């Protein structure tokens, strides 16, 4: 049967030729590339049916040699004004060595993901749990130091260039400017970990009584406990009833958050990066759906040792957020009829 010349094959190649191409790719990246930080995403509270996570964390920042393919500027570089504020649509195309990633990074990633679950470090990863060690995955982040920006990997291209000598030598990562949505950053790099402080995202504000003590430290971790009886000191504690897992309300012993602003004169503490949030729930006694489960809590600073008891908790005002104004206008015009019942039976 006819076939191509085995001495000039463009698809099967020989080991020496393949290794040469791989070495040339790595050399080009090291000569003309830059060192960026690669941050694998850690899934928290993963919904194994929808394969979505209600919370993510970034605990590692690994130096990674990268060639910037879009060297002459950001792809689609523009800023768009939306109803949620100004959105940055910058994009980057980055190239890394496939063999270098699989040699130096894959064993470390496998050990890292297995250590989270308490498995032996060589156990094969379950891709359905959002874990892979053979390549960077969509959702991981890249820190771009030149403009102090963080980019999210949206797609990893495996076949560019198209199978030279029957093999791929690089991963081409298409990245888009990262938009913060409550992720936890604890990588040890200050320029990265301050991501949660920069955007005007959800923050919870506590108003304390004057029976506490101590001074909270900026960016320290605080533990929030639910108070069963607020009239005694120390109060009796009970678990929160929160949506720790998607769709299921479970008992949560404590909430971990980060202290952002502390006004000791007014006894007001603002926290961010909450481990779990308080969903809208119907109070089992009063059937009231406006009760905030974080109103009566005790907040304990893990570094400072400060302890204070909350009288009221509310969401800190954000830019472009007119929720309170809309509610105020509605309260002025609404007509309440006690005989009315909810047509859907929610209350």
Three-class SS string for the chain?
CCCCCHHHCCCCCCHHHHHHHHHHHHHHHHHHCEEEEEECCEEEEEECCCCEEEEEEECCCEEEEEEECCCCCCECCCEEEECCEEEECCEEEEEEEHHHHHHHHHHHHHHHHHHHHCCCCCCCCCHHHCCCCCCCCCCCEEEEHHHCEEEEEEEEECCCCCCECCECCEEEEEEEECCCCCCEECCCCHHHHHHHCCCCCCCEEEEECCCCECCCCCCCEEEEEEECCCCCCCCCEECEEEEEECCEEEEECCEEEEEEEEECCCCEEEEECCCCCCCCCCCCCCCCCCCCCCCCEEEEECCCCCEEEEEEEEECCCCCCCHHHHHHHHHHHCCCCCCCCCCCCCC
Q: CA–CA separation, 191 vs 273, rounded Å? A: 17
Predicted confidence (pLDDT) per residue in 192-228, tens digit: 988 877 777 788 899 998 888 899 998 899 999 988 7
Q: CA–CA separation, 333 vs 180, rounded Å? A: 36
Across the range 139-157, mean pLDDT stands at: 92
pTM over 0.85, yes/no: no
Label residue 109 exposed, middle or buried (CB < 10 Å: 0-12, 13-18, 19+).
buried
pLDDT-derived band at 270 (thresholds 50, 70, 90) equals very high
pLDDT-derived band at 299 (thresholds 50, 70, 90) equals very high
Of 89, 42, 100, residue with least CA distance to 66: 100
Q: Is the pLDDT of residue 312 over 90?
A: no
| pLDDT score of 320 | 62
């Amino acid at each position: 049967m006819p076939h191509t010349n085995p001495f000039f094959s463009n698809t099967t190649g020989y080991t020496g030729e393949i290794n040469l191409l791989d070495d040339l790719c790595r050399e080009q990246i090291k000569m003309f590339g830059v060192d960026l930080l690669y941050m694998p995403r850690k899934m928290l509270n993963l919904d194994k049916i929808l394969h979505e996570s209600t919370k993510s964390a970034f605990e590692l920042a690994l130096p990674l040699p990268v060639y910037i393919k879009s060297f002459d500027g950001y792809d689609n570089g523009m800023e768009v004004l939306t109803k949620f504020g100004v959105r940055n649509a910058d994009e980057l195309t980055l190239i890394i060595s496939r063999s270098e990633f699989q040699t130096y990074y894959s064993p470390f990633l496998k050990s890292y993901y297995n250590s989270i679950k308490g498995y032996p470090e060589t156990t094969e990863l379950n891709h359905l749990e959002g874990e892979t060690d053979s390549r960077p995955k969509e959702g991981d982040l890249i820190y771009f130091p030149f403009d102090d920006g963080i980019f999210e990997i949206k797609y990893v291209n495996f076949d560019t260039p198209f199978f030279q000598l029957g093999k791929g030598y690089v991963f081409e990562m298409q990245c888009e400017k990262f938009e913060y949505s409550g992720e936890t950053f604890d990588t040890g790099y200050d320029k990265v970990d301050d991501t949660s402080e920069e955007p005007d995202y959800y923050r919870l504000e506590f108003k304390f009584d004057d029976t506490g003590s101590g001074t909270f430290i900026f960016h320290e971790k605080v533990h929030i406990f639910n108070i069963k009886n607020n009239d005694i000191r120390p109060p009796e504690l009970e678990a929160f009833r929160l949506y720790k897992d998607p769709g299921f309300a479970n008992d949560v012993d404590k909430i971990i958050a980060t202290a952002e602003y502390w006004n000791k004169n007014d006894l007001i503490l603002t926290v961010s990066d909450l481990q779990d949030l308080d969903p809208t729930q119907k109070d089992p006694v009063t059937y009231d759906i406006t009760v905030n489960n974080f109103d009566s809590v005790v907040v304990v600073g893990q570094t400072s040792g400060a302890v204070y008891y909350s009288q009221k908790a509310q969401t800190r005002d954000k830019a472009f957020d007119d929720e309170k104004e809309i509610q105020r206008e509605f309260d002025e015009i609404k007509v309440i009829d006690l005989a009315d019942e909810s047509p859907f039976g929610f209350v």
